Amino acid sequence: MTERSLVLVKPDGFKRGLSGEVLRRVEAKGYTLVALSIFVPDQDRLALHYAEHEGKPFYEPLVDFMSSGPVTAAVIEGERCIEGFRALAGATDPTAALPGTIRGDLGRDWGLKVQQNIVHGSDSPESAKREIEIWFPGLA
């Protein structure tokens, strides 16, 4: 089934110059880039994106981190790209991520700061639709 997903190269990945490598891997996997933008996300956009986590202990540090610098935001499209990108990204904890994945090959262990794990990818078709609308209004 052809679907779309939001992919974010987070501020740590952008700062390290990894956007091109992440996008190369996305395209090498056979997915199409539908939209691409680079900017520093504001608090309002991040509050919408992370609304389900509001009130949790990691919410404020996550929003602070995600607004700390530029991100590369992309919409990708392809057969089962949500599941495929999440497999390509690897486990959330870079130390536990397998070699060959983005986080396994490029991630660093920042201790308790697991939000600094290079990339984000939508986790379901419903999340993808909601997230794409937040980051690329009118595209979803």
Of 41, 37, 32, the closest CA to residue 4 belongs to: 32
Annotated binding site for ATP: 10, 58, 86, 92, 103, 117
Residue 79 corresponds to which amino acid?
E
**Are 104 and 98 in contact, with CB atoms under 8 Å apart?**
yes
Q: Is 120 a catalytic residue?
A: yes
Cα 64 from Cα 132, distance rounded (Å): 21
How far apart CA 60 and CA 3 sit, in angstroms, is: 31
- Of 4, 25, 120, 130, which one is the catalytic site residue? 120
Q: Which residues are annotated as a binding site?
A: 10, 58, 86, 92, 103, 117
Q: Which residues are catalytic?
A: 120
